């Protein structure tokens, strides 16, 4: 069993987003998010080798949940990638299928992560070995029943031991994608938590952001500012 915070997937990884595609080295993957509503049970991603050499890629699927304010990824057989391994020639493309094979009915929104690893080539040269670093894409995959409720997120702020924690709990039926996250106290002090993607708050789950320092004037109130999915967020946080 593999359980790890999502940030661990980014360690040592070159990751970039451009429009609706993710680009890194020779491997291009699109789209960067898969969202399927039942009765649909599958979707397609396109892998493209934009380099001048062949590319090998391994594809795996993990069930994605949140526990104790952190992302958890666990291997699953409910959703599979077909095929799990791809070889592409220079300039080649491949349509990858993501299939929910579980016979259990979807209740609410199920969350997964599709991990695409570009397997590095090793070239031996006269003056040593040149290694192409492994490139990893982590693609959110969602299967949802129709008519589920919108995200409904409440916030909490707490400071202790020279650090502060901002917590978000989503009591709604759909996930919330949070970006450009910052907080502001009643006295006007601000702290930026993320200038880009801060993370997801999955349906019925909680996530925490822990940062050093504190927010001056927090006892006078804390307001959260962010972009959630496609909307701006301005919400009061409960101060503990």
85-138 per-position pLDDT tens digit = 999 999 999 999 999 999 999 999 999 999 999 986 555 334 444 555 568 999
Q: Which ranges of the chain have pLDDT less than 50?
A: 1-21, 23-24, 124-129
The count of structural domains within the chain is 2
pLDDT at 113: 98
Is residue 187 a part of any domain in this protein? yes
What is the CATH number for 94? 2.60.40.10
pLDDT at 129: 47
- What percent of the chain is modeled with pLDDT above 90? 78
Phi then psi for residue 32, to 5 deg, are -100, 10
Is residue 126 a part of any domain in this protein? yes
pLDDT at 12: 34
Is residue 157 a part of any domain in this protein? yes
For 61-71, write each residue's pLDDT tens digit. Answer: 999 999 999 99
- Domain encompassing residue 133: 6-144
Task: Let me know whether 15 and 124 are in one domain.
Answer: yes
Spatial contact of 218 and 184, defined as CB atoms under 8 Å apart:
no
pLDDT at 135: 83
pLDDT at 51: 86
pLDDT at 23: 44
């Amino acid at each position: 069993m593999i359980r790890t915070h999502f940030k661990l997937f980014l360690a040592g990884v070159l990751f970039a987003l451009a429009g609706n595609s993710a680009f890194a080295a020779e491997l291009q993957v699109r789209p960067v998010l898969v969202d399927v509503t039942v009765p649909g049970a599958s979707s397609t991603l396109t892998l493209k080798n934009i380099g001048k050499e062949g590319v090998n890629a391994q594809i795996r699927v993990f069930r994605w949940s949140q526990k104790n304010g952190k992302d958890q990824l666990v291997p699953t057989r409910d959703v599979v990638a077909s095929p799990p391994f791809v070889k592409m020639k220079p300039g080649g493309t491949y349509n990858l299928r993501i299939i929910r094979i579980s016979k259990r009915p979807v209740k609410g929104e199920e969350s997964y992560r599709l991990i695409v690893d570009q397997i590095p080539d090793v070239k031996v040269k006269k003056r040593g070995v040149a290694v192409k670093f492994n490139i990893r894409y982590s693609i959110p995959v969602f299967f949802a029943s129709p008519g589920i409720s919108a995200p409904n997120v409440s916030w909490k702020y707490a400071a202790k031991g020279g650090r502060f924690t901002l917590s978000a709990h989503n009591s709604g039926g759909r996930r919330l994608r949070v970006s450009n996250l910052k907080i502001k106290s009643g006295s006007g002090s601000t702290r930026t938590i993320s200038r880009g993607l801060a993370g997801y708050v999955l349906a019925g789950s909680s996530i925490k952001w822990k940062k050093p320092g504190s927010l001056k004037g927090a006892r006078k109130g804390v307001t959260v500012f962010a972009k959630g999915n496609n909307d701006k967020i301005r919400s009061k946080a409960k101060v503990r």
